[in-house]
Amino acid sequence: MTETPSSDSSRSKSSIGRSILCIFAGFFVVAVLSIGTDVVLHVIHFYPPLGQYTPGSILISATIYRTIYGVLGSYITAALAPARPMKHALIGAAIGLGLATIGAAVTWNHVPPLGPHWYPVALIIGTFPTAWLGAQLHIWRTGTR
8-state DSSP, 47: S
pLDDT per residue, tens digit, the chain (145 aa), is: 444 555 556 566 788 999 999 999 999 999 999 999 999 999 999 999 988 899 999 999 999 999 999 999 999 999 999 999 999 999 999 999 999 999 999 999 988 889 999 999 999 999 999 999 999 999 999 988 7
Q: Phi and psi dihedrals of 102, rounded to 5?
A: -60, -45
Close Cβ partners of 128 (under 8 Å, ≥ 6 residues apart): 90, 93, 97
**Domain map (residue ranges) of the chain:** 9-142
Helix (H, G, I), strand (E, B) or coil at 116: coil
pTM, two decimal places = 0.88
**Count of residues in the chain:** 145
Q: What is the pLDDT of residue 118?
A: 96
